[in-house]
Amino acid sequence: MNLLTITAQTWITVGIVAGIFAGSALLIGALILVVGKVFKVNVDEKITKILENLAGANCGGCGCSGCGGFASKLACGGAELSDCHVTSPEKKAEIAKLLGIELKDEEPTVAVVHCLGGIENAADKFEYKGNPTCASNASLLGGNKACSYACLGCGDCKAVCPENAISVQGRLAQVDPDRCISCGACITACPKDIIDRIPSSAPVYVACSSKCKGKEVMGVCKVGCISCGICAKSCPHGAITMQDNLPVIDYSKCTGCLTCVAKCPRKIIISRKVVAEETPEQSA
């Protein structure tokens, strides 16, 4: 066999291999096109338009993993527009038109931490040395705080806040009302359920969540509510009632006279004006 014959056979082999590769590529391309057409997902135009009007914070405060999931639920009637506290009223009005529903009047809200415990005021029942998260802490006998309603201060709420509106000082979470967008991510993250929304216009709030009676509270916290009811008795507008050993404020009646703040012997009814002035600056 001479050199010319070998060269010809080599090129024939190369041509066959190249042909196989080219044929395979064409076949794969054709299969991709077929599969793409067969399994094509038609995105609902309504969902797309709803998503365009949502704030896009993807905070999870609505209970969905992101705005995309919330838009899908809205489109099929599986969620309420009021579940989102981030989207502006103007954009909500556009979404309401798309859904063909009437937009309910909503008062702006802000998150607050219903606790004043922390290292200084709330006693520990043991020293926690595990994973430094509130969720892990709470999973061990309900947490290391002697008060079962106390802030654990590990900062799970701070970690999920998209606006850096939460700081943790002395193992106690605090919300900066000027930065809070009321998305609700912190509410979902808190394993003790002590973060809640109140109207942005609310003059005061109750900084305690304990439903225990006075004697038990005094044994575990220096500032916890002792359910004495002085605030309810002293309110000149009847805006406070006692429920489950805690004062509950009816903000439709509260005028911001601050009588309750002055009368509370444990100082757990807080003026929001004072909180706004004293909240430390958050790092960017």
pLDDT digits (tens, 9 = 90+) for 149-183: 999 999 999 999 999 999 999 999 999 999 999 99
Residue 44 is predicted with a pLDDT of: 73
**3-state SS assignment for residue 157:** helix
Of the candidates 249, 89, 111, which has an alpha carbon nearest to the alpha carbon of residue 188? 111
Which of the four pLDDT bands, split at 50, 70 and 90, describes residue 8?
low
Q: Could you tell me the CA-to-CA distances from 180 to 13, 84, 113, 249, 250 in Å, in that order?
A: 70, 14, 12, 21, 22
Alpha helices per DSSP H over the chain:
3-38, 45-53, 67-75, 89-99, 118-121, 134-139, 156-160, 185-189, 214-218, 230-234, 259-263, 272-278
Structural domains in the chain, sorted by start: 45-99 (1.10.15.40), 109-223+270-278 (3.30.70.20)
Give me the DSSP letters along 96-127: HHHHT-PPPP---EEEEE----HHHHBPBSS-
Kindly report whether the global pTM for this prediction surpasses the value 0.85: no
Using only C-alpha atoms, what is the Rg of the chain? Answer: 29
Residue 282 is predicted with a pLDDT of: 42
Residue 3 has pLDDT above 60, yes or no: no
pLDDT, tens digit (0-9, with 9 covering 90-100), for 88-146: 888 888 888 888 888 877 889 999 999 999 999 999 999 999 999 999 999 999 999 99
Residue 90 is predicted with a pLDDT of: 87
The letter for the amino acid at 169 is: Q
Give me the percent of the chain exceeding a pLDDT of 90.
57
Burial (0-12, 13-18, 19+ Cβ within 10 Å), 95: buried
Residue 82 is predicted with a pLDDT of: 83
Residue 11 is predicted with a pLDDT of: 63
Distance, in Å, from the CA atom of 250 to the CA atom of 167, rounded to the nearest integer, reads 28
| Average pLDDT, rounded, for the chain | 86
Residue 249 has pLDDT above 80, yes or no: yes
Distance, in Å, from the CA atom of 184 to the CA atom of 275, rounded to the nearest integer, reads 20
What b/e string do you get for 44-54 counting C-beta neighbours within 10 Å, with b at 16 or more?
eebbeebbebb
